[in-house]
Amino acid sequence: MTSIRENQHELIGLGRHLREAIPAVYAGYAQLHNAAMGDGALPARTKELIALAIAVTRECDGCVVSHARGAARRGATAQEVAETMGVAILMNGGPGTVWGPRGYAAFEEFAGEART
């Protein structure tokens, strides 16, 4: 398995390359992301936790990285992320016990940066 940082850097480069080919698709996705993930009835921090649980469920490394970083930047606590991973494990069974720890480890890495 590649490290969280290696995964992030690989996906950034690949994403930039594809975005050059289909900029309108990426612009539309960015607009959807901003509309869905901003503060509303649910705080943005809660939405990042939900997205992280879904990323774990979908077994998407890039999504885990993105939403673990988002949760850290939005001020989620380690306990909130741990409990979110607990729900993901409940809903996913065995695969959740593999991907939940990945999500938590990604959050811890980004949370350390957010504190510095």
Alpha helices per DSSP H over 38-93: 44-58, 61-73, 78-92
Residue-level pLDDT at 4: 72
Sign of torsion, CA 91 92 94 95? Answer: negative
When pLDDT is averaged across residues 32-48 and rounded to a whole number, the result is: 97
Domains and CATH numbers, the chain: 4-115 (1.20.1290.10)
Per residue in 68-113, pLDDT tens?
Answer: 999 999 999 999 999 999 999 999 888 899 889 999 999 999 998 7
* pLDDT beyond 90 at 43: yes
Q: What are phi and psi of 49, to 5 degrees?
A: -65, -40
Decide which of 6 and 33 is more confident.
Answer: 33
Q: CA separation (Å) from 46 to 1, 37, 70, 98, 101?
A: 28, 9, 10, 22, 19
116 vs 97 pLDDT, higher one? 97
> How sure is the predictor about 116, in pLDDT bands with cuts at 50, 70 and 90?
low
